[in-house]
Amino acid sequence: MKLYFMGICGTAMGQAALLARAEGHEVIGADDGVYPPMSTVLAEAGVEVALGYDPQRLQRLAPDLVVIGNAQARGNPEVEWLLETRLIPFTSLPALLHDLVLRHRRNVVVCGTHGKTTTTALTAFLLRENGRDPGFLIGGVPQDPPMGSHLGAHSDPFVIEGDEYDSAFFDKRSKFIHYAPHIAILNNLEFDHADIFRDLVDVQRTFSHLARIVPRNGFILLNGDDPNLKALGPMPWTQVIRVGVSAGNDARILDFAESAGGAEFRLEWRDRPWGRVRWSLPGLFNARNAAMAAVAASLATVGKGGTIKLESLARFRGVKRRQEVRLSHAGLTVIEDFGHHPTALGETLRSLRGRYPGARLTALFEPRSNTARIRALQADFTLALGEADEIYLGPINRPEKLAAAERMDVAEVARDLAGRGLQAESFSSNAALLQRLTAQTLPRAGGSRVVVFFSNGSFDGILDAYVAEATRPSSPP
């Protein structure tokens, strides 16, 4: 079958396109911005990617099926042509994945407001390290496993990142509803995606819908410390396994500690020792991701917990743009993080305090996601960013799409933080932010500093520009 992917440079779309090609289908696609990392991955794989959307080109290519990404909307010229002519059938990405890959597999679906990409990568990595050949689709660019998608052996599990965002403009169900979970990981639950969910109860409702399609011989792995997940109530139709730090969880994280040398913790399975983990990933939140992945991998292979060997976690390198160290040079550490929710920002900043004791902590934040751009969580973002010593706030992305009263007020956030004794500034452009950051932090006169860039987008390329300036030969050592 000849498949055409609209929005192919999106991470999930690109990885799904590679899976479809591995299944033997011909794959082509288009995007209105051909950008890394997926543009690079697709080019290396020899996938043809056209720039922009052109109905005449689409008609000439004559695919058997068009896969419409959820970033596409009415008004897209190819969408309008498909709807008017009905010459080519179309579907959503989640529906395609179900029909081509997931329908006959035992699927591990990794869900939650935070940590989905890392937990998906961890689960696939642990399965591979323990002698299995799982399929997987990771919504990012992992360093381990060494690729973001893989069909694997049909007799082994398929691990997929389960996003609660909607499937397409014509299918408003959450993506994960399509993914036929045998094991569903519910890692955490908070209000997010304010453009499609009204409130926390609305998000809980879609997670409840997912839980109800887990079969009775399957499992729900639940963060037993999360009150928003506890509020989902009992789930007597399937087997529920609880993971967390508190007593009463089936799998427990104990003795977590973090220092400049890394992090370590112990895992127990139903009060029996499982193993000790020493690794490079920061934060208790990543320890929880690892615990979830280890339990899921155990259940997916032998049907009981505490069986997967944990030693290989010491070699796990994580996912690009998730607390990724981009520079460590002459007392300056620069970190890139995909964080775009206040809880994630706060946890990461607190973890960096333990990882880099005594360093001055500088946080840069681009309000880009549909939740970060609105006022609803402004107080929470202010509290989270207050974990840093100094804060630089970029302008909100696409402000013209929101009424003034609905937008996050970055100037107000900066004033509130400054009122707490922190150095905080807001900027009308990311270029102005970069100029100020460079002037304030380069050159450096002794001491150590950690600069962390938080954005789920490109931040207009200022991170790369800052790293380049910091490593110029003319910069003082």
Digit-coded pLDDT (tens) for 214-235? 999 999 999 999 999 999 999 9
Predicted local distance difference test score (pLDDT) of residue 100? 94
Confidence class of residue 445 from pLDDT cuts 50, 70 and 90? low
Out of 34-38, 115-119, 288-292, which region has the weakest mean confidence (pLDDT)? Answer: 34-38
Q: Does residue 187 register a pLDDT over 80?
A: yes
Mean pLDDT of 87-108: 96
Q: What percent of the chain has pLDDT over 90?
A: 80
Backbone region of residue 414 per phi and psi (left: phi > 0; alpha: psi in -120 to 50; beta: other values) = alpha
What are residue 453's phi and psi, to 5 degrees? -100, 120
DSSP strand pairing (26-31 vs 166-168): unpaired
Mean pLDDT of 321-347: 91
Mean pLDDT of 66-77: 95
Q: Does residue 34 register a pLDDT over 80?
A: no
Q: Does residue 314 register a pLDDT over 60?
A: yes
Domain ranges for the chain: 2-94, 104-315, 324-470
* Residue 339: closest CA among 158, 71, 138, 114: 114
Same fold, 2-94 and 324-470: no
Q: What percent of the chain has pLDDT over 70?
A: 98
Fold of 2-94: Rossmann fold (3.40.50)
Predicted local distance difference test score (pLDDT) of residue 312? 96
Predicted local distance difference test score (pLDDT) of residue 476? 47
Cα(5)–Cα(342) distance, integer angstroms = 33
Radius of gyration from C-alpha coordinates of the chain:
22
Cα(233)–Cα(84) distance, integer angstroms = 45
Q: Does residue 367 register a pLDDT over 60?
A: yes
Predicted local distance difference test score (pLDDT) of residue 426? 96
Predicted local distance difference test score (pLDDT) of residue 354? 87
Residues 6+ apart with CB under 8 A from 34: 9, 49, 51
Q: Does residue 475 register a pLDDT over 50?
A: no
Contact in structure between 158 and 107 (CB atoms under 8 Å):
yes
Predicted local distance difference test score (pLDDT) of residue 139? 85
Predicted local distance difference test score (pLDDT) of residue 207? 96
User: pLDDT tens digit string along 383-424?
Assistant: 999 999 999 999 998 888 888 888 999 999 999 999 999 999
Q: Does residue 37 register a pLDDT over 80?
A: no
Predicted local distance difference test score (pLDDT) of residue 477? 42
Say whether domain 324-470 belongs to CATH 3.90.190.20. yes
Cα(420)–Cα(422) distance, integer angstroms = 6
DSSP state of 214: S
Predicted local distance difference test score (pLDDT) of residue 298? 97
Out of 33-47, 110-124, 411-425, which region has the weakest mean confidence (pLDDT)? Answer: 33-47
**CATH value of 104-315 in 3.40.1180.10, 3.30.70.20, 3.40.1190.10, 3.30.450.20:** 3.40.1190.10
Distance, CA of 161 to chain centre: 9
